[in-house]
Structure 1
């Protein structure tokens, strides 16, 4: 999904009564002190009911039916995704289903509900400006992982591993990285030899991969790039890339779950 295109599509919508556009920003951040008891459920219920109560008083039956269609669809989406919630839900919807944008974000929002002629995209544009298309590059010696993200949403990952025989970086296609078998002392002789060789050749090896990462950045239109890893490894990779790196996060997280990595980067 291209969020920028979605925003432009939403901005082009203008409906007349009894048609309306529903816009919802709902804060579901469990780390928010105001959300410790799942208060977002009450906010959702109250937000939806307020429009329904208003339309009852207005006595516009057709608009009331239209809102009810949207309300049911919104409630269904939230119910089906309740266990997947992160920090926020953003929804835009129309009764005829010509507009249906429903996303769970790793980014907190201010809870607001609208039922108007146009989609209220200001807050979505604001968070997109802060968290646009972003590349996260994780380094850990002979393995480098890239994560293509947008608005905190993971779109794609790629893993490169160094072939020590050919000294070429190869894209890894298997389910897991190969692990070196450790001996009784904790490290194998093979691992000791590798670490010594790696330190001697790290800069040159990272330089040979940098052009691929630059191309990946260009192809994915990354507006920000974060390198996550050991300080010296990250610096070597950063120095060899032509694309500007936004920040280096000095943590080894290559083996961590992707959403944990994204959360760490967004908080940095």
Structure 2
């Protein structure tokens, strides 16, 4: 399920009394380990507030959630992204974690429901989107959310069957070594059938859009190829970007797709 579905579900979480711990923690390289101090101090302040309130039920619940958060950070302290968002509660056994590639403002909340506004703002900037990188003999479809590539699905042209072959991972577009005459024949057959291949693949992308709960599509590639693929899509893309980024880094692709 995509983030949009997660947010919809999280909006429905609410208790009569305070029961939900929301953690927004900046863990980027510029923190130089200070995130651990911010985590301890933030959780300590909530604990002290609950002790002063005398609400033993909340104290007990908070201590359980605090331990789950600290255990989560302990397991992943060496492979953290730039920020971490956690929603934890005994209500419905809630424990949702999001490792993000964008900075968030560090904050800790103990409320009757999850504090979602910062995550919703980030999701509005980087909605769940299918990003299609078009090339002549391969197409890569990226499943993105919150400005991060969650999965890559590549479709390469098989000259033997003249069909697209799907596999997970990043397509390199490399072909087996062959004579120049074989390559020329391959390129000619591919060019002659490109519209048909793109038409079939566009239908697959439309199915993926529903399966991955994408809010939109972005097509990136050299002008002729990107425009050809756009024309085969039933869903109008949010953007069509005329750049060849098939060998570019993840941050560069995300930057081009969303800005």
- With the shorter chain as reference, the TM-score category is 0.7 to 0.9
The Cα offsets for residues 198-241 of structure 1, whole Å up to 9 and x where unpaired, read as 45654554344333333433444422212233333222212332
TM, length-normalised to structure 1: 0.78
**Aligned match of 2:123:** 128
Whether contact under 8 Å (2:140, 2:171) holds in the other structure is no
Quote the offset at 1:86 in angstroms: 1.8
Return 5+ residue gaps in structure 1 as ranges: none
SS of the equivalent of 2:237 reads coil
| 1:90 maps onto 2:85 in alignment | yes
TM, length-normalised to structure 2: 0.80
Query: Cα RMSD over matched residues?
Result: 3.3
**Aligned match of 2:4:** 4
CA distance 1:118–1:180, shift in 2 (3 Å): closer
Whether contact under 8 Å (2:42, 2:108) holds in the other structure is yes
| 1:161 maps onto 2:161 in alignment | no
The Cα offsets for residues 174-221 of structure 1, whole Å up to 9 and x where unpaired, read as 9977843458xxx95533554465456545543443333334334444
User: What is the total number of aligned residue pairs between the two structures?
Assistant: 259
Q: Distance in 2 between matches of 1:181 and 1:54?
A: 66
Return 5+ residue gaps in structure 2 as ranges: none
Q: 1:228 aligns with which of 220, 235, 259?
A: 220
**Aligned match of 2:205:** 213
Q: Distance in 2 between matches of 1:248 and 1:28?
A: 33
Whether contact under 8 Å (2:206, 2:235) holds in the other structure is yes
Q: Distance in 2 between matches of 1:237 and 1:116?
A: 47
Q: Distance in 2 between matches of 1:103 and 1:84?
A: 13
Quote the offset at 1:89 in angstroms: 0.9
SS of the equivalent of 2:108 reads strand
**Aligned match of 1:146:** 141
Whether contact under 8 Å (1:202, 1:233) holds in the other structure is no
